[in-house]
């Protein structure tokens, strides 16, 4: 009996390319990816510095939420810039009063950014394993958060973005 081997293509044709590397194989970052990472980190740092210095609650430099401007309803991210400003200033309680969802999701977003940045320089941090049910849960919690924060009674008054 003849052993089964990988296909080599038709006689007279060029050989097939090697199969892709395994997922866990170390990937050598390119110079372009490192430059991109440094540029992204500089841009994010500049944006965070600007948000920390210029208070979105008292400055007209930031755009207003279109949904809130037209309907008066708080969207999921209403108060997000003010919450980010408070977080950057170290005031977690005030940030939670402006947008609790931003405060809860900020550590995950920060870790994902650090993980991506590190990967561009060959650093291996444990991956956030995001399962489909987690995405559906975040979506459901976001929708419930938006509905509840717009109620004028119960927890809605506490979750409403402070102005």
Given CA atoms 146, 127, 41, 87 in this order, what sign does their dihedral have?
positive
The answer to whether 29 touches 122, Cβ cutoff 8 Å, is: yes
Q: pLDDT tens across 2-21, in order?
A: 555 555 556 666 666 666 65
**pTM for the whole thing?**
0.73
pLDDT digits (tens, 9 = 90+) for 17-36: 666 655 555 567 788 889 99
Percent of the chain with pLDDT over 70: 82
Does the pLDDT value for residue 54 go beyond 80? yes
Q: Is 17 left (phi over 0), alpha (psi -120 to 50) or beta?
A: beta
């Amino acid at each position: 009996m003849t052993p089964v081997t990988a296909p080599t293509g038709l006689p007279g044709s060029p050989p097939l390319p090697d199969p892709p590397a395994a997922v866990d194989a170390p990937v050598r970052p390119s110079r372009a990816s490192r430059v991109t990472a440094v540029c992204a980190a500089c841009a994010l740092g500049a944006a965070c510095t600007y948000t920390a210095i210029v208070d979105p609650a008292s400055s007209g430099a930031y755009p207003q939420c279109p949904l809130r401007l037209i309907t008066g309803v708080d969207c999921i991210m209403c108060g997000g810039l003010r919450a980010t400003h408070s977080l950057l200033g170290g005031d977690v309680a005030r940030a939670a009063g402006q947008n609790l969802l931003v405060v809860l999701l900020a550590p995950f977003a920060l870790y994902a950014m650090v993980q991506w940045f590190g990967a561009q320089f060959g650093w291996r941090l444990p991956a956030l394993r995001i399962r489909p049910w987690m995405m559906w849960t975040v979506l459901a919690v976001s929708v419930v958060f938006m509905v509840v924060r717009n109620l004028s009674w119960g927890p809605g008054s506490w979750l409403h973005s402070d102005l």
